[in-house]
Amino acid sequence: MNLTKFAKEVHQNAVDHGWWEKEVSFGEVVALCHSEISEALEQYRQGMPLAYNICIKNGLPCIGAECVHFDDFTLSCSKQQETDKPEGIAVELADCILRILDYCGKEGIDIEKILLDKHDYNKSRPYRHGGKRL
């Protein structure tokens, strides 16, 4: 996958869905990224799995191949249906990445090059550089 090309696609999708009808400030982009990270934390705090779907039949969480809410009418959820909304910790993290890629696509940032350059630089840094704790 070419992340820079993907960022352009992500941004175009956001434009097509009306999220850039008015200019969004950089501060708003950062706040929206923060909100996605906070949603991931809430999913974690609630003990939710990394990824699951919301049942299209009754809006309850479905985990794995079967619903967690068996009843007479629902024995399993069709994961292939587009209306099954993905949820979970990993999904919220993906939402943050998508927001970052949206901004990169808008600004024409070659995010793939930036990521590779920064990763190469990080590999050259000393163990726990600067004595930082985390």
Q: Give CA separation, 70 vs 54, 55, 77, 107, in Å.
A: 14, 11, 10, 47
Domain boundaries, the chain: 1-50+88-127, 52-85
Nearest CA-CA partner of 84 in 68, 61, 102, 101: 61
State how far the Cα of 77 lies from the Cα of 57, in Å rounded to an integer.
8
- Compare 133 and 13 and report the one with higher pLDDT: 13
Query: Using one digit for the tens of pLDDT, what is the confidence trace for 26-62?
Result: 999 999 999 999 999 999 999 988 988 777 666 667 6
- Compare 1 and 30 and report the one with higher pLDDT: 30
